[in-house]
Every structure is written in C-alpha cells, then in structure tokens.
C-alpha cells in the first residue's frame, strides 16, 4: 500500500473537539440539578472559564488538524505536524512492528479511526511511534496491513465466552471505580462550594443511615459499595472485551480485537514475543482464575508493561484456559506448564518479609499511640484493637509472599514467580535476555541474598528475581545464559 501524495486527516475530526465540552457541561448540568437551577458567582465564573477554555482548545485543535499531513511511500511512513513549530517524523516500513487501531464511540459514529504505528524500539521521545488520529475505517484497515506483509490467513486461537464473566467482579477494579467516582463527585461539590448537607438526596441518605442500628448503618453502605462495584466490573468487562478474538495470522503474527464502544485492534509479531506473564490476584487465585499478558516488544512506551490492558492477551479466565492460551501463543506443547518445579527462596527472605510486615504495622499504629498518650486513652484502645487485626494479616501476607517466591529453568524459558496479593509468574525466553543486573542492599549483603534483574528489550525492560541466595543466583545466570558471566568472572 502506498499513497505517495501528502494527505490530510479527515475533516470530520473537527467534531471530535466537541468532546472537550462534554465533561464541563455535565458538571454544570449536575450542579443545576443539585441546586435547583441556582448558580452562585463562583459557579458562573467557573462556567465562563470552561467556555473560554473550550474555544481556545477548539481553535488549537482545528489548526492542528489543518496543518497535519502524512503519506506512505514504498519504504516509509511520514508525518508532518505544526503551524509555527514544524515537526517531521518518519518510520521505515520494514521497522514497523505493531499497528494499533482504536475507535471511540464518536470516532465510530463518524466512521473514523485512530491508528498508532510503532517500531517497538526502547528509545526516548516519540521516535518509535506515530499516531494518525482521524483516518477513515477503510484507510485504517489498509494501514494495519503494514505490520503483516506476507502473512497468511487467520486462525482463531481464542474467542469471547460468557462464562468468563464470572471472573470479572474478582478483579476488584469495580469497587475502586466506585471510590473514584465518589471522590470525584465530592471534589466537584467542593469546587462549586456546595455543602453536601444542602443536597437533597445526600441529606436523605444521611438521615436514613442515622436512624438505623449502628451495625446496620455500617453494613448497608459496604453492601451498596460492593454491589455497585460488581455492576461496574461487569459493565467494564463487557465494554472492554466485547467481540474479543485472538487470531493467529499465519505463522508470523497475532491479531487481537476487542471493545464495544471503544474498539481496539492490535497486531503483534511472534518474533517480538519474548514470553508471557500469568497474574493471579488473590480473589482470582481463590477462584482458580488468572490473567494473561504478553511480554513483547512494540506495545508502546508506558503501555508495554506486562500488567497493562494494552498487553493483555485474554480476559480474566480460569487458570486452565490461561495456561492453554499461553502455550499456544508461545508455540509450545500444551503440557509445557505441567510439572514446573521452582526453587524456593532461602529462609532469610522470610525473615526480611516478616520484618517488613512488623515495620508496616508499627508505622500504621505509631500515630495513634502518640496521639493517645497526648490526647485521650480512646486512641490507645483503637490502636490496640487495630493492631490485633493488622498484625495477623500482615504476617499472613509476609508468609504468602515468601511462599510465592520461586525461580527455575523450564525448557527454553526462565521462570520466576513473586507477589502476595497479586502473584505473578513470568515465563521469559532465555534467548531474549540481553543482560543481567545483580543488586544488593546492605541488609541483603548481611543475609547473603541478592536481587537479580534479567534485562530484555520488552515489557518493563527487566524482570526481577527477588531475594535469591547470591551463589544460587550466579549459578542460575550461568545456566540460563551460558557464557554471559565469563568476562566478569575473569
């Protein structure tokens, strides 16, 4: 595909600038509903500032749209932007690793797409990718083929199944989302100088809770938050993973498509895949579920972490299905993960985690103890009761973190496991390791421990093996990457 002439983004992108007005208009509407249509001087000034900001942003958006040009030649993709400060970026076509196509609801309504073309290199600045925000859906599909020249037909690896929906509430992101919304609403009221006690439905809720027994007044809000969190998690799952498909495009790449309102389609070359990460947050672990992320070059800058949604290969699913997809993506036999034996950490690692747990409890309780001594004995009672709760929880987390430490070699992969609330197991292709780091704190040196870092040109750039015995760590390095240590040993 070539378009030798310079082209502009589609004029319909001007309508996208209207989305800048939606949040402030929404906040103004909420304020009018809460105050019965009355706005004080501060709210009027805020509204005027929002409108002025919108005009400025809309003008700047229009200028940027009019001054953006791109073209695709036989050997490169070029982008020119800027009216006063001109910027020119180019990516050779043979260096393109992923083409990510996204579409917000407004993009889809206007028949447009945003295309991000990435080289996957770990370099500073924007030189590794360029974004064309405002091309037609047909043109975006042609652009996407830049990353799959010579690739054969698709073969379905995984598709959405609604039994995965039962794992959605176990990620706990829904509860966190409820907290974010509540906090944002409180900040909105504060910025508009509205007293929550003057808001009708908030006042009614407060009086209703005040009339209940104490235990019920505590339990009911918790149940409401949990219920809202479950609903939010289910809705987020549907929006994020709707029409999910993971396809193998010939032998050279994978294509992942998902999304209901905001769609995303990502191409990933197999030769850029250096491993996978299986993450098991505690609720998912108890339900025998897990998440699967790719460790790959070319997923972006801050988005290439193997815990981000950008690198997710599968929705939260059962551990069995996660392991099956992991082996399929890696091109390994289905029984690859069977019988993995990892060497545990020394007992000194357990002592370190118990020390951290006791220290965390002490730091949490110290302010209460100090205030209790200075002000009232009630705070001392609160400190004692909370310590009885926090101490066993912290010690259990320390023991769990120690038990989850493990490292070993399994076939062509370096396998490392760590974490307590979210246990993470990484299978890293040993041939992709480009270097090692050995870190030792003063406490680790006294205990004969070290933290190894396996450097790769993917993910976070390196994966840590925590609190391994130094001699065992050096042996592991020599076995995982023979010859890499020899220059240093000499």
| Domain ranges for the chain | 3-147, 164-241, 245-343+405-489, 347-403
Lowest mean pLDDT among 192-206, 269-283, 446-460, 468-482: 192-206
pLDDT for position 151: 47
Q: Does position 319 have pLDDT exceeding 90, yes or no? A: yes
Give mean pLDDT, residues 224-244. Answer: 87
- The tokens for 301 are 């800058």
Nearest to 120 by CA among 272, 294, 313: 272
- The tokens for 177 are 């989302």
Q: Does position 200 have pLDDT exceeding 90, yes or no? A: no
Lowest mean pLDDT among 288-302, 363-377, 406-420: 288-302
Give me the DSSP letters along 347-377: HHHHHHHHHHHHHHHHHHHHHHHHHHHHT-H
Task: Give the model confidence (pLDDT) of 29-59 as tens digits.
Answer: 666 665 555 656 666 676 677 777 777 777 7
Helix (H, G, I), strand (E, B) or coil at 149: coil
- The tokens for 123 are 């370099």
Give mean pLDDT, residues 75-85. Answer: 81
Burial string for 292-302 (b: 16+ CB within 10 Å, else e) reads bbbbbbbbbee
Confidence of residue 298 (pLDDT cuts 50, 70, 90): low
* 3-state percent helix, strand, coil for the chain, nearest multiple of 5: 50, 25, 25
Task: Give the model confidence (pLDDT) of 339-385 as tens digits.
Answer: 788 999 999 999 999 999 999 999 999 999 999 998 888 888 999 99
CA angle (145, 147, 152) in 5-degree steps: 70
Nearest to 205 by CA among 220, 189, 187, 183: 220
Nearest to 234 by CA among 178, 289, 179: 178
Alpha helical stretches, state H, 2-40? 22-35
- The mean predicted confidence, pLDDT, of the chain is 81
Backbone angles phi, psi at 215, to 5 degrees: -65, -35
- The tokens for 126 are 């924007």
DSSP 272: G
Backbone angles phi, psi at 371, to 5 degrees: -65, -35
pLDDT for position 40: 62
Q: Does position 121 have pLDDT exceeding 90, yes or no? A: no
Give mean pLDDT, residues 309-333. Answer: 90
Lowest mean pLDDT among 191-200, 314-323, 450-459: 191-200
- CB-based contacts of 302, cutoff 8 Å, min separation 6: none
Confidence of residue 21 (pLDDT cuts 50, 70, 90): low
Nearest to 240 by CA among 156, 329, 310: 310
pLDDT for position 150: 44
406 contacts 414 by C-beta, under 8 angstroms: no
Confidence of residue 250 (pLDDT cuts 50, 70, 90): low
Question: What global pTM score does this model have?
Answer: 0.76
Which range among 134-138, 256-260, 433-437 has the greatest average pLDDT? 433-437
User: For residue 402, how many other CB atoms are within 10 A of its CB?
Assistant: 21
Confidence of residue 148 (pLDDT cuts 50, 70, 90): low
Q: How far apart are CA 143 and CA 1, in angstroms?
A: 8
Residues of the chain above pLDDT 70, percent: 79
Nearest to 299 by CA among 63, 119, 31, 52: 119
Q: Does position 446 have pLDDT exceeding 50, yes or no? A: yes
Nearest to 60 by CA among 45, 39, 81: 81
Nearest to 273 by CA among 151, 125, 410, 97: 97
User: For residue 366, how many other CB atoms are within 10 A of its CB?
Assistant: 11
Q: Does position 334 have pLDDT exceeding 60, yes or no? A: yes
Q: How far apart are CA 379 and CA 362, in angstroms?
A: 15
Please tell me which residue, 146 or 472, carries the higher pLDDT value: 472
Q: Which phi-psi region, left, alpha or beta, contains residue 324 (left: φ > 0; alpha: ψ -120 to 50)?
A: alpha
pLDDT for position 324: 93
Backbone angles phi, psi at 165, to 5 degrees: -60, -30
Q: How far apart are CA 43 and CA 32, in angstroms?
A: 10
pLDDT for position 62: 78
Sign of torsion over alpha carbons 435, 333, 97, 280: negative
Nearest to 142 by CA among 94, 67, 90, 77: 77
pLDDT for position 147: 52
């Amino acid at each position: 595909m070539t378009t030798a002439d310079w082209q502009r983004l589609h004029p319909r992108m001007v309508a996208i600038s209207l989305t800048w007005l939606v949040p402030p208009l929404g906040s103004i509407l909420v304020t009018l509903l809460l105050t019965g249509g009355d706005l004080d001087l501060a709210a009027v000034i805020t509204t005027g500032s929002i409108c002025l900001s919108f005009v400025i942003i809309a003008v700047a958006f229009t200028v940027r749209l009019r001054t953006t040009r791109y073209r695709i030649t036989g050997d490169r993709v070029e982008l020119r932007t800027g009216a006063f400060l001109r910027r020119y970026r180019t990516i050779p076509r043979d260096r393109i690793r992923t083409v990510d196509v996204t579409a917000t609801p407004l993009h889809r309504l206007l028949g447009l797409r945003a295309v991000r073309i990435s080289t996957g290199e770990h370099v500073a600045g924007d030189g590794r990718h360029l974004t064309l925000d405002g091309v037609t859906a047909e043109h975006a599909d042609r652009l996407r083929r830049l990353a799959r020249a010579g690739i054969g037909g698709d073969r379905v690896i995984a598709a959405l199944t609604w039994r995965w929906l039962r794992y959605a509430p176990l990620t706990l992101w829904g509860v966190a989302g409820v907290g974010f919304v509540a906090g944002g609403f409180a900040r909105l009221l504060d910025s508009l100088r509205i007293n929550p006690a003057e808001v009708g439905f908030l006042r009614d809720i407060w009086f209703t809770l005040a009339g209940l027994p104490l235990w019920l007044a505590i339990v009911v809000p918790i149940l409401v938050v949990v219920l809202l969190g479950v609903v939010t998690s289910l809705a987020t799952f549907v929006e994020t993973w709707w029409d999910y498909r993971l396809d193998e495009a010939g032998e050279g790449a994978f294509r992942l498509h998902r999304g209901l309102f905001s769609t995303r389609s990502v191409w990933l070359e197999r030769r850029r895949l250096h491993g996978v990460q299986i993450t098991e947050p505690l609720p998912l672990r108890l339900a025998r579920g897990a998440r699967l992320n790719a460790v790959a070059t070319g997923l972006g800058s801050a988005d290439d972490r193997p815990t981000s949604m950008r690198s997710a290969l599968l929705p939260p699913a059962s551990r069995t299905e996660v392991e099956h997809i992991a082996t399929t993506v890696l091109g390994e036999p289905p029984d690859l993960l069977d019988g993995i034996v990892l060497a545990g950490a020394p007992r000194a690692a357990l002592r370190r985690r118990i020390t951290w747990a006791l220290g965390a409890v002490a730091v949490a309780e110290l302010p209460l103890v100090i205030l209790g001594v200075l002000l009232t004995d009630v705070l001392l009672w609160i400190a004692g009761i909370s310590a009885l709760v926090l101490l066993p929880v912290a010690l259990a987390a320390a023991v769990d973190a120690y038990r989850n430490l493990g490292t070993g070699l399994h076939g062509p992969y370096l396998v490392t496991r760590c974490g307590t609330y979210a246990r993470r197991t990484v299978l890293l292709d040993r041939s992709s390791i480009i270097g090692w780091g050995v870190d030792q704190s003063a406490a680790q040196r006294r205990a004969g421990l070290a933290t190894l870092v396996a450097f790769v040109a993917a993910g976070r750039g390196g994966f840590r093996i925590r609190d391994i015995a130094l001699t065992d760590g050096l042996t592991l390095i020599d076995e995982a990457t023979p010859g890499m240590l020899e220059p240093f040993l000499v």
